Structure formats: C-alpha cells, structure tokens
C-alpha cells in the first residue's frame, strides 16, 4: 500500500468517524423528536385540519372540508373581533406594566446589600400560586359585597361602598389586568435582576465617575445594558399572556356581556359548551399567529440589540 492510498484510507476512516459522530446526536434525539411529533405536532396538525371542516362535538358524520369558511365566519362574528382586540390590549398593557415595574423593582433590589436572597424568595411568591388560585383570590378581593377593596373603602368613608368591580366597564377589565400583573411581575424582576447583576461594575463605576444622577444611571446605563434580557422576558411573557385563560375564567368568565372576553375564554365556550370545535380551532390558530408575531418582533429586536452591542 502506497502512502497515497494509505492517506486516502486514513481520510476515509476519518470521514466515517466524523459521519458516525454526526449521526449519533441525531440518533439519540430521535426518541425525543418522535415523542414531540406525537404529542405536539400531531394534535396541532389535526386541529389545523379540523379548523377547515364543519366538525362539531356532537356530529355523527365524518367532518366535511369547508375551506376557509370558519375563518370567514369568525370575522363576521360580533364577539370575536372585540375579543381579539381586547386580547392584544391585554397583552400589551400587562407586558408593558410588568416591564416597567420589573425594571424598577429589580434596580431597587440590586442595591439591597443584606437579605437579598430572602427578598427574592418573598418576591417570587405570587409566581408560586396556580393561576386558578390567583383568580379566586382576586375574585374575592374585588367582590362587591364581601371583597377586600370595598371593605377598605367602607373603612375609609365610613359608609357602605358597593362598587361591582368585576361587572362595571372598565373596572372588570382593569381587575383582570391587576391580577395578571400581580402574578407575573416577579418573573420580570428575577430576569432583570439577573441582567443587572451581570453588568460589569466598571461600567457603573465609570458612569458614577462621570457624575450621572441615579435616574441617568438607570435610564442610560442599566436599561440599555439589560436590553437582551428585556426582549427575552417580553417574548416569554407575551406568549404566556396570549394563552391567558384560567385566571380570567375564574374571575369573570369573560363576562358580563363579553366585557372581559379574551380569545381563550371565547374559544373554550365555543368549542366545548357550544360544541363548535371547528370554529374553536380556527380561532385558536389566529391567536397562535398573533403570539408568533409578538415573539418574532421581540426576537428581531433582541438580535438587533445584540448586533449593536456586539454580543
């Protein structure tokens, strides 16, 4: 065997080892991928298919293909479009308020020298409750007869104050916003605190040497520095809020008179009580598209920020 042949054989051996090494992860990932396809992709594709049929929960006959009829019907539905708009508004308000609160609280916490661990744990407590429990808790807080808020008002004004918080416009919508913000702001705080603590002390020191005020330091140094964290948190929370159901369902059920109706409370009623699974599926896909749009936007911003910052 000549040296060339030997080299060729070595090369072949090497490439087969490389191929083997490349195949191994794919092979190892196959069971997980198969499972994901089975439990996520298959139901998603099936519900997408159902959204193009006339399937109802009580129909005996096989679903008939109806094209885009369900999607067209949705846009003629006087409840759907307001619910869609309300859902987008709900996402925008909760996520933005959580962002602002999260930044301020995280910044304040970063200054705490002693007991930060305990403070972090206390702050995370709302996240430990299931949304259903939070829903019941706020339903009681805002109850018009025995609720905490009206009782406090009674103590202040020394006369019965019966404000139907969960009923009136726009109080009902505000109450579900308050509950959602209370429950999820800690998530933002934890993410931003991690971001703030990862800023190099040199940058902060340099800003202080330059004579910046606390506000300037916060707005010109800290916030830009944690921008990647902000976009990740916004993306995660937008997806999360776009799925809002449990809390709203318990507090108001989307009512009264659709005043707090979000997409998922409407989807649930349409699909299960009203038996109309096909339209429910179509509506779900529209919501998924909105969630994807929000996520796409935030990740694009994240990439842009990372490019600017060279990280």
Partner 1 sequence: MKKLLTLTLALLLVAGFVFAVGKQEAAAPTVLKCAFIGGANYEELYKEIPKWEAKTGMKVEIVYKGDGFQIDKKLKTDFAAGAVDYDVCWDHSSFFTQYIKADGIVPLDDYFSADELKDFIPMILNSGKRDGKLWIVPRHFDISCLHYRTDLFQDFGLTVPETWDEFKSTALKVQPNLQPGVYATEFAGKEEALTGRFYEVSTCEGAEFFDKNWKPGFNAPGGVKAATMFRDLYKAGAMPPGTTSFVWEDVAKNWVAGNIVMYTEWYGWYSYFQDPSASKVAGLFDIVRQPKGDAGVHGGWAGQHSFSITKASQQKDTAADFIKFITSIESQTVEANLGFLVTRNSVWDKIIADAKAAGNPLDVKRLELAQFQAVNDFRTPPLVAEWLPASDIFWPIMQGIILGDKTPKQGLDEAAAKVEAMMKDRGYY
Q: Which positions lie near partner 1, rule CB under 8 A? A: 56-60, 79, 143-145, 160, 162-164, 166-167, 252-258, 261, 269-270, 272-277
Other C-beta atoms within 10 Å of 19: how many?
Answer: 10
What angle separates helix 116-128 from helix 171-197, to the nearest 10 degrees?
140
Minimum CB–partner distance for residue 254 and partner 1 (Å):
8
Among residues 228 and 256, whose Cβ is nearest to partner 1? 256
Minimum CB–partner distance for residue 146 and partner 1 (Å):
9
Among residues 247 and 270, whose Cβ is nearest to partner 1? 270
Among residues 190 and 278, whose Cβ is nearest to partner 1? 278
Minimum CB–partner distance for residue 302 and partner 1 (Å):
39
Q: Nearest 5°: phi and psi at 276?
A: -90, 80
**Helix residue ranges per DSSP H, the chain:** 3-36, 42-50, 69-76, 80-110, 116-128, 131-141, 148-157, 171-197, 201-209, 214-216, 223-225, 227-242, 246-251, 263-268, 277-309
Minimum CB–partner distance for residue 86 and partner 1 (Å):
14
Among residues 56 and 116, whose Cβ is nearest to partner 1? 56
CB 57 within 8 A of CB 270: no
Among residues 126 and 256, whose Cβ is nearest to partner 1? 256
Minimum CB–partner distance for residue 253 and partner 1 (Å):
7
Task: Determine the Cα–Cα distance for residues 216 and 214; give it in Å rounded to an integer.
Answer: 6
Task: Determine the Cα–Cα distance for residues 148 and 152; give it in Å rounded to an integer.
Answer: 6
Minimum CB–partner distance for residue 65 and partner 1 (Å):
16
CB 283 within 8 A of CB 80: yes
Among residues 46 and 104, whose Cβ is nearest to partner 1? 46
């Amino acid at each position: 065997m000549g040296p060339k042949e030997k080299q060729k054989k070595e090369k072949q051996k090497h490439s087969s080892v490389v191929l083997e090494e490349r195949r191994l992860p794919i092979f190892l990932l196959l069971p997980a991928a198969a499972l994901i396809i089975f439990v996520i992709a298959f139901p998603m594709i099936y519900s997408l298919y159902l959204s193009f049929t006339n399937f109802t929960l009580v129909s005996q006959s096989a679903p008939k293909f109806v094209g885009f009829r369900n999607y067209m019907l949705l846009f003629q539905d006087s409840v759907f479009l307001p619910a869609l708009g309300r859902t987008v508004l709900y996402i925008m308000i909760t996520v933005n308020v959580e962002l602002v609160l999260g930044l301020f609280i995280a910044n304040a916490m970063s200054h705490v020298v002693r007991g930060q661990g305990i403070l972090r744990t206390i702050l995370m407590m709302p996240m430990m409750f299931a949304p259903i429990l939070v829903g019941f808790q706020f339903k009681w807080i805002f109850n018009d007869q025995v609720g905490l808020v009206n009782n406090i008002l009674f103590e202040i004004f020394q006369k019965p104050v019966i404000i139907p918080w969960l009923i009136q416009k726009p109080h009902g919508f505000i109450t579900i916003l308050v509950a959602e913000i209370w429950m999820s702001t800690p998530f933002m705080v934890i993410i931003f605190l991690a971001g703030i603590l990862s800023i190099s002390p040199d940058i902060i020191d340099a800003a202080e040497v330059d004579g910046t005020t606390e506000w300037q330091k916060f707005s010109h140094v800290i916030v830009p520095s944690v921008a990647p964290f902000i976009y990740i948190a916004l993306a995660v929370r937008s997806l999360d809020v776009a799925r809002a159901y449990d809390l709203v369902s318990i507090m108001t059920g989307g009512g009264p008179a659709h005043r707090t109706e979000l997409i998922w409370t409407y989807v649930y009623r349409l699909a299960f009580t009203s038996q109309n699974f096909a339209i429910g599926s179509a509506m779900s896909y529209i919501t998924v598209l909105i969630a994807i749009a929000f996520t796409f936007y935030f990740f694009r911003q994240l990439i842009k920020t990372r490019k600017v910052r060279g990280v």
